[in-house]
Structure 1
């Protein structure tokens, strides 16, 4: 019978990925850097694969390392759920969470389901608002945790997910060829709206804002109906949408980052528990419509996967 994987080694492996550094991972798991390196060598010996590959003076996850990461997170989550099921001192109370509606639509079902399994006595209050409004509510003490679009110029948040930001159009229409290009975006204060306008201005592309809404559903509907072009993070690309390329006159965009804000003074145990579930869930999510959109994009799925790996896992110093 094969020897079992070591949970402690898997936790250290995940810590390296989450922090992007052996040194920071050592601090997180309360070990020396040499102990962390030794654990990774033993884990590689156990699975019989190299988990990291050299990239100049740095190390990054190998393809086998990426494969192991998904299994490792599921094993740690199941381990924690098992322990929680026999915990006589389970968390109780309520926690207030804020999130934009597009994040709520994509992320919250899985987060809520997993959190409820391990914390059945905790009531979740979830409010959907744009990131800017959520930041204001956090400052007023009206929320305990907020999942927001990371924007260090406007708010401080802990980045928990990085993914590409794409121009999207309908697969069945040619509205992206129109002049001016019709856009579906958020309100004037929306960061992505401002980014879209700035990018098109820089490219010398004429555009006209036809649809303005905070609702991700409204924006997606305008795109799918062939009425407008928009820009969306990879996770929000839906079946029926096509990713537009620079060759089609739509300039490449900086990646989108999703962050967490915690209210000082909020119940620490509850906040840490829900934030842990959010961070783990977002790292594991497969984007909706990713494969279909990829098939109709100028960038191949492999190329995007490699780019996403570089974004999600910062370069790790060599051992």
Structure 2
């Protein structure tokens, strides 16, 4: 259950989430189209309603208090559900064709449940799923060849303008559970193409740590790299989650350097009602499953 007192205005929670995530009332105000003083007043109203301080000012801006951290997770889930309900009932007759971009492993693990729920609520919308790496998906979206797309990015890159962040977490090394391939030097890698942010993060981390490596196998999908690792021919990278039998997560205790955190985001065409409706369903699906499965970049 979301133990939020009855009568809390969703607009207050939406402003709180933006302030907590961005560390700034000014940035949150620009996102919701209000003045800075209006958002500050919203934060005071929310704290008074809940009876606890939610935000603390520090050297890097505003950050959530322990009570604020507890609320932040639940507010995200509540708002995702709220937006899905509003979208569904305000636009029950949406029809048309939607082009959804997704890295292939997102499609395999995340999308079946999301698309099934969307088809039930919007039976007149046809969804075309296009699978390829994040960099190529972003290029196709910029060329107006996709109506919305999931993609991932790292610390070296800011989210695209208009992107909605869905998840943030660490990238992890993945190796064979049966063979100590991670001890080989140079380290054999099974990664995607050179433009993949996961590949760049892995090779940069190895070079900074002074670990020699070689590109043993290349695959555009996580499924392909997992096959190589299962065969005991290399190591790869993925997100911190459950893995197929025969694989395990590797770390500093295995002689491998720490990898950076990555984010999963969503871009959509705001002028297309069907894309907006599907985006709401995707956000709700991610909120319902906060721990992500291993996926390709």
TM-score tier by shorter-chain length is 0.7 to 0.9
Distance in 1 between the 2:271 and 2:22 partners?
Answer: 24
Distance in 1 between the 2:123 and 2:24 partners?
Answer: 35
- Are positions 1:190 and 2:196 aligned together? yes
Distance in 2 between the 1:97 and 1:6 partners?
Answer: 32
Alignment TM-score, normalising by the size of structure 1: 0.73
Name the counterpart of 1:273: 277
Alignment of 1:231-310 (within 5 A): 231-234=237-240, 240-245=247-252, 248-262=254-268, 267-279=271-283, 281-282=285-286, 285-288=289-292
CA distance change for structure 1 residues 214 and 272 in 2, over 3 Å: closer, same or farther? same
Distance in 2 between the 1:252 and 1:269 partners?
Answer: 42
- Are positions 1:78 and 2:81 aligned together? yes
CA distance change for structure 1 residues 234 and 63 in 2, over 3 Å: closer, same or farther? farther
Alignment TM-score, normalising by the size of structure 2: 0.77
Alignment of 1:1-319 (within 5 A): 3-17=6-20, 19-56=22-59, 58-87=61-90, 90-113=93-116, 115-116=118-119, 118-150=121-153, 156=160, 158=163, 160=165, 161-224=167-230, 226-234=232-240, 240-245=247-252, 248-262=254-268, 267-279=271-283, 281-282=285-286, 285-288=289-292
Q: Which runs of 5+ in 1 are unaligned?
A: 291-319
TM-superposed CA distance for 1:184, in Å, is: 1.5
Q: Secondary structure at the match of 2:172?
A: strand
Distance in 2 between the 1:67 and 1:114 partners?
Answer: 28
Q: Secondary structure at the match of 1:200?
A: helix
TM-superposed CA distance for 1:244, in Å, is: 0.9
Q: Considering only aligned residues, what root-mean-square deviation do their CA atoms show, in Å?
A: 3.5
Q: Which runs of 5+ in 2 are unaligned?
A: none
CA distance change for structure 1 residues 52 and 117 in 2, over 3 Å: closer, same or farther? farther
TM-superposed CA distance for 1:129, in Å, is: 1.0
Distance in 1 between the 2:159 and 2:69 partners?
Answer: 31
- Matched pairs, number: 286
CA distance change for structure 1 residues 165 and 94 in 2, over 3 Å: closer, same or farther? same
Q: Does the aligned pair in 1 maintain the 2:147–2:275 contact within 8 Å?
A: yes
TM-superposed CA distance for 1:118, in Å, is: 4.9
Distance in 1 between the 2:136 and 2:44 partners?
Answer: 46
